Each structure stands twice: as structure tokens, then as C-alpha cells.
Amino acid sequence: MTNNTDQTIETINRGRAARVIRSQTENMLIDQEDLIVSNLIVDYRSGRLTDEKMRGKIGEISTLRWMREELEATIRKGDAEAEKEYSGGS
């Protein structure tokens, strides 16, 4: 196998693995984000929301979204490589 073929197979396999991970974690990640937002709202309404707490929670949300975006990007790359491979490499 050539290095290019190895890379193609690796990209396809990573995409498949990312799809499995997404299916197992997507609802949890979305629920976690909703919980963080709900807690921010409660803290705001009660007057306990500090700048530091808000920045930390925004960082948490950002990380959760980044994780979901990275999974999606990996899946798209794997799908694109699989499509090229199955259509004759063109």
C-alpha cells in the first residue's frame, strides 16, 4: 500500500470512529450546554452572576461546541475520502 492509500484509509476510519463517538455523545454534549446556559440564567436572575463565572461558563460552552464541530469536520473528511475511494479515486 502506498502512503497516500494509507492516509485515505486512516481518514475514512477516523470519520467512521467520529460518527460512532458523535452518536454516543451528541445528546450529552447538547444537554450539558443547555444545563450551563440554564445555570447562567439562574445566576443572572438571582444576582449571583459574576464576570469571572460568566467567562468560565462561556469557555465551557465554547469547548463543547468545538468538540461537536471537530467531530463533524472529521466525519465530513472521512465521507469525502470514502466517496472518492468508492468512485474510483477521482
What digits encode the pLDDT tens for the residues 39-82?
999 999 999 999 999 999 999 999 999 999 999 999 999 999 99
- Residue 68 domain boundaries: 3-83
Q: Is residue 89, in this structure, part of any structural domain at all?
A: no
Q: What is the pLDDT of residues 3-38, one digit of tens each?
A: 888 999 999 999 999 999 999 999 999 999 999 999
Q: Is residue 46, in this structure, part of any structural domain at all?
A: yes
> 8-28 in b/e burial notation, b at 16+ Cβ within 10 A?
beebbeebeebbeebeeeeee
pLDDT for position 89: 60
What value, to the nearest 5°, has the Cα angle with vertex 87 and ends 85 and 90?
80
Q: Is residue 49, in this structure, part of any structural domain at all?
A: yes
Q: How many structural domains are present in the chain?
A: 1
Residue 1: pLDDT band by 50, 70, 90 thresholds? low
Q: Is residue 12, in this structure, part of any structural domain at all?
A: yes
pLDDT for position 86: 86
Q: Is residue 58, in this structure, part of any structural domain at all?
A: yes
Q: Is residue 90, in this structure, part of any structural domain at all?
A: no
